Structure 1
Amino acid sequence: MRVLVEVCVDDVAGALAAEVGGADRVELCADLGRGGTTPSAGMVRAVLAAVTRVGVQVMVRPRGGDFAYSRAELDVMLADVAHLRAAAAGARVPVGVVTGVLTTDGSLDVAAMRRLVEAAAPLPVTAHKAVDETPDLERTYDALRDLGVVRVLTSGGAATAAEGATTLARLVERSRAGGPAVLAGGAVRPGTVAALVAGTGVGEVHLRAQAPSDRGDGTLDTDVDVVRALVAAVGRPAPTPRAAPAPDAWAVLAVDAGGTAFKASLVDDRGRVVVRRDARSGDSGEASYRHLADLLLALRREATDRGLVVLGAGVATPGMVDEPAGVVRYASTLRWSDLPLGPRLADELGLPVAVGHDVRSAGLAESLFGAAAGEGDAVLVSIGTGVAASILTGGHAVTGAQTTAGELGHIPVVEDGEPCTCGQRGCLEVYCSGAGLARRYAAAGGLPGLDAAAVVARLDEDPVAAGVWDDAVRALAQGLATVTLLLDPRVVVLTGGFSRAGDRLLEPLRTRLAGLLAWRDAPPVRLSPLGTEAGRIGAAVLGLRAAGRDDVVERWRVADLLG
């Protein structure tokens, strides 16, 4: 008899280790310290994208503790099952649901289980070890059979499978008459599994093959050697030798979307750019989406050719972005309106995808690796064609009720000033932006056809250039004074093409800002060390967070990010 081996895991690395070790299935959970709960949608997609052979059984359990759930909690479980069905639709490996619900008196909640089994169809459902808490396990087994459950994970109602061997043997007899398969779990180890199989006749075993991680922080990782040992102990031939993926065999797709082009990168586990690819935006919203999706699909194929496992994707885009939903509400330059960018890309790529605002994504990178690192209250001001800000307060990004927080360029800084394209007058970006500086220089009689950088280069020799530059610095100082008094940031970071003026911008700006703040010191104003790479770095962080791999980001170093 071939004994199937199932390994309980909580991340992509664990699933891959189980696959390398020769397991047949994984049970994917979160929060294993509390017995396992429902993993994030991003983690599910990442695991399904990473594995090539093992089946994936996903835990559906809204919390730790007992297994008697409220109506609201059951609704959450049903919603999780629906998301799992959608994720499983394009999977290349078998996918199933693991769940269990009891009543307050400890009996099987037949009505709740029926709803879950029906909602999961056609995915198979395994009843998890909650069944061991029922007063009559064999009666519970029969009820699960009638509900259409395909497998029961159980220790025979005892603390360990070895102690429950007698009951397990009786359940195996029931399974031979057409009942659910019996999956024996509970302290199953390589040294004891052979006796368990011989004494009960079980054809499937379940274990949590974890050991302390190399990080030395008390966390656990799935140990491929334990999996291999158990597979060998049940009499299975050793799997074909295959190394567990090294950390740098993982990667994430990152896109910094501009008004006219998409800049995509394949970023490895250390934050290093492996490949860069660009694509133009389209002449319609759908064409722009298609160019982006095709770019990411091609980059993913290139990752596969290089032996890299892609965990997820992050896209930083301009416009009004509903980040939790992954929807671009409006992006004029890309002609997008209410585009479900994240969900559509996730369906095409089969990966978890996160979508963020371009400047907020750059601000995220700056808060982790740049001039605002370690500061919970910071403002990143991006000054290019226009002006926008990323606001971090108390360690949290501020998005606003309409997702438009940070439109610093449209703060009026000159009463009844020059008109802005937005319809207001005297806006900051009329005076202090790449487009504004070039336009005002030309309008004041300067040399024709010069861009902002060329204007800045003439500051020492051209009074017109010096005059419009002084107006720009004054306007920016006024805007930052408002930001300072309203938000009280610990640091203000400047980025974008305008910031390349360096000290020609910083020195007069700091002086003017200090002069506008009568009763408090001005916050430090710094230039971004990440520059134009901040958007790409932020997008990569978003992609890994979507995949549930924040731990990867924590190991990144600036030298690798910018190398």
Structure 2
Amino acid sequence: MKRRQGSLTIGIDVGGTSLRASVVDPSGQVIDSTQSPTPHTASALEQGLERVVRELAERHPVSAVGLAVAGFVDSDRKSVRFAPHLPWVNSPVARRMSDRIGLPVLLEHDANSAAWAEYRFGAAADGRNVVMVAIGTGIGAALLIDGRIYRGSYGVAPELGHIQVVPDGRACPCGKRGCWERYCSGTALVDTAVELLAADQGSSTILARDVFLDPGSLTGRRIASAAQDGDEIGLRTMQDFTRWLGVGLSMVSDIYDPDLIVIAGGVATSSSQFLNEATEHCARLVTGAGHRPLARIRATQLGEAAGMIGAADLARSAFSTSSH
């Protein structure tokens, strides 16, 4: 089947570690991909983005590019205000990249991009008011109201990961203490396990032995795997994570009253271990428990490709509309 010229767009997940780029068709299918490390200066990063776009554009007739950025994007989606793991500050990235590659370029927050992809093609397709909670190193979040991305007045909403849940709690890189993501993220899993191991130094669980032999082996993925195998420290760590997820989701439900919440990010790959219990915990804590409909809570369908798919689809929509 021959694809219509211009129906393909490129979505790029611009992360602090890697640039992941995909060619995406109008049905949300990824038809080609490439990946490279993220450079650490603004000029090198833009050169790297140009390389991955040109590589894919040589193989496919693409019409636009969407960048899913882990940072604050202006509400006009043309500039990056700030990105903690990227070298852009108050930078007109869309214009500079468009000048480089000769294609229109749209920017979007990475969580917004992923939420849009799930709404168009995945787990949120039947949602009306949808919150995405993307749990990885920290917590990213997005809100769709009646099928429209809500960005706030200045393009930075909603920063759910930095709602304070523990006064004077764990220090957060954002400068505050006790943020939700310090208790409910991949990083939080490691911190909790370290605290439990320190409090129980006689522990002889497999996880304890692994950490004693190689402290660097302790990762969120390793903890989830240990819990799956019945390791006591792993199970207690996952229980703590699950409790905090329920606490946060009840706050999300109270504030936004969504009909659907999608759990995404790297931790979502282990959702079978915690999602049902976290949902039950949320249902007990939500205001008016037992007297109101509750949001359905689901895991992502599109996984790590969601940001690329969403950015590509948003770029297609923006520039096909503006060209008519």
Q: Could you say whether these structures have the same fold, taking a TM-score greater than 0.5 normalized by the shorter chain as the test? A: yes
Q: Which residue of 1 aligns with 2:254?
A: 485
- In structure 2, what is the Cα distance between the partners aligned to 1:526 and 1:354? 28
Give the RMSD, CA atoms, in angstroms: 2.0
Equivalent in 400, 412, 416 of residue 168 of structure 2: 416
The amino acid across from 2:30 in the alignment is: V
**8 Å CA contact 1:252, 1:543 repeated in 2:** yes
Pairing partner for 2:239 from 427, 447, 470: 470
How far has the Cα of 1:249 moved from its partner?
7.1
1:510 equivalent in structure 2: 279
CA distance 1:500–1:274, shift in 2 (3 Å): closer
DSSP-derived class of the 2:10 partner: strand
Structure 2 SS opposite 1:548:
helix
Q: Which amino acid is 1:302 matched to?
A: R
Whether the aligned pair in 2 keeps the contact of 1:262 and 1:278 (CA below 8 Å) is: yes
| Cα shift at 1:382 | 0.3
Name the structure 2 match of 1:450: 218
Q: Say which of 291, 295, 320 aligns to 1:548.
A: 320
Deviations 1:474-498 (A, max 9, x none): 2111111111111110011101111
Shift of 1:549: 5.5
**Which has the bigger relative contact order, CA under 8 A and spacing at least 6?**
2
> CA shift at 1:268, angstroms?
3.6
The secondary structure found in structure 1 opposite 2:191 is: helix
Judging changes above 3 Å, is the alpha-carbon distance between structure 1 residues 434 and 396 closer, same or farther for their aligned structure 2 residues? same
Residue identity opposite 2:57 in structure 1: R
Give percent identity, aligned residues only.
Answer: 35
Paired residue type of 1:262: L
Are 2:308 and 1:536 aligned? yes
- The answer on whether the counterparts of 2:28 and 2:313 sit within 8 Å (CA) in structure 1 is no
Within a 5 Å distance, the mapping from 1:117-196 to structure 2 comes to none
> 8 Å contact 1:320–1:404 — kept in the other structure?
yes
1:366 partnered with 2:135: no
Residue type of the alignment partner of 2:303: G
Q: Which of 137, 142, 152 is equivalent to 1:390?
A: 142
3-state SS of the aligned residue for 1:502?
helix
Q: Mark the structure with the bigger radius of gyration.
A: 1
Contact 1:266 1:273 in 2 (8 A): yes
**For 2:236, what is the secondary structure of its paired residue?**
helix
**1:247 aligned to 2:12?**
no
Q: Check the 8 A contact 1:312/1:353 in 2, yes or no.
A: yes
Counterpart residue identity of residue 171, structure 2? P
Counterpart CA distance in 2 for 1:268 and 1:415 is 47
CA gap of 1:270–1:479, structure 2 versus 1, over 3 A, is: closer
Contact kept? 1:315, 1:356, Cα under 8 Å: yes
- TM-superposed CA distance for 1:409, in Å, is 1.3
Q: Which residue of 2 aligns with 1:556?
A: none
Secondary structure at the aligned position of 1:444 is classed as: helix
Give the Å deviation of 1:269: 4.7
User: What is the deviation of 1:360?
Assistant: 0.3
Q: Shift of the alpha carbon at 1:508? A: 1.1
Q: Is the 8 A contact 1:499 1:505 kept in 2?
A: no
Q: 1:394 to 1:266 in 2, by over 3 A?
A: closer
1:374 and 1:546 mapped to 2: Cα distance? 23
Amino acid paired to 1:394:
D
Unaligned runs of 5+ residues in structure 2 are: 198-207
- Which residue pairs with 1:277 in the alignment? 34
Deviation at 1:323, TM superposition (A): 4.4
Asked whether the 8 Å contact 2:224–2:238 carries over to 1, the reply is yes
Matches within 5 A, 1:186-265: 246-247=3-4, 250-265=7-22
Say if 1:477 and 1:512, in contact at 8 Å, map to a contact too. Answer: yes
Match of 1:288 among 39, 45, 68: 45
Q: Which amino acid aligns with 1:468?
A: T
Count of equivalent residues: 301
In structure 1, give the amino acid aligned to 2:271: G
- Shift in CA distance, 272/248, structure 1 to aligned 2, threshold 3 Å: farther
Aligned to 1:314: 66
Q: 1:270 Cα deviation (Å)?
A: 4.6
In structure 2, relative to structure 1, the CA distance for the partners of 1:268 and 1:486 (3 Å cut) is closer
**Contact 2:28 2:121 (C-alpha < 8 Å) held by counterparts:** no
- Alignment deviations for residues 161-196 of structure 1 (CA, whole Å, 9 cap, x no partner): xxxxxxxxxxxxxxxxxxxxxxxxxxxxxxxxxxxx
Q: Counterparts of 1:348 and 1:286 in 2: how far apart (Å)?
A: 11
What is the rounded CA distance, in whole Å, between the counterparts of 1:494 and 1:390 in structure 2? 11
Structure 1 residues 411 and 246, CA gap change in structure 2 (3 angstroms): closer
Which segments of structure 1 move beyond 4 Å, counting only runs of 4 or more? none
Say whether the 8 Å CA contact 1:248–1:269 is kept in structure 2. no
Q: What residue in structure 1 maps to residue 87 of structure 2?
A: 335
8 Å contact from structure 2 (residues 128, 146) kept in 1: yes
The change in CA–CA distance for 1:366 and 1:271 in structure 2 (over 3 A counts) is closer
The question of whether the paired residues in 2 share the 8 Å contact of 1:438 and 1:450 is answered with: yes
Report how far residue 374 of structure 1 moved.
3.3
Q: Which amino acid aligns with 1:500?
A: T
Instruction: Find out whether 1:351 has 2:122 as its counterpart.
Output: no
CA distance in 1, matches of 2:279, 2:120: 24
SS in 1 for 2:90: strand
Q: Which residue of 2 aligns with 1:434?
A: 186
Amino acid at match of 1:424: K
Q: Which residue does 2:204 correspond to in 1?
A: none
Moved more, 482-491 or 517-526: 517-526
Match of 2:58 in 1: 301
Structure 2 CA distance for partners of 1:430 and 1:248, relative to 1, 3 Å: same
Provide the secondary structure at the position in 2 that maps to 1:441. Answer: helix
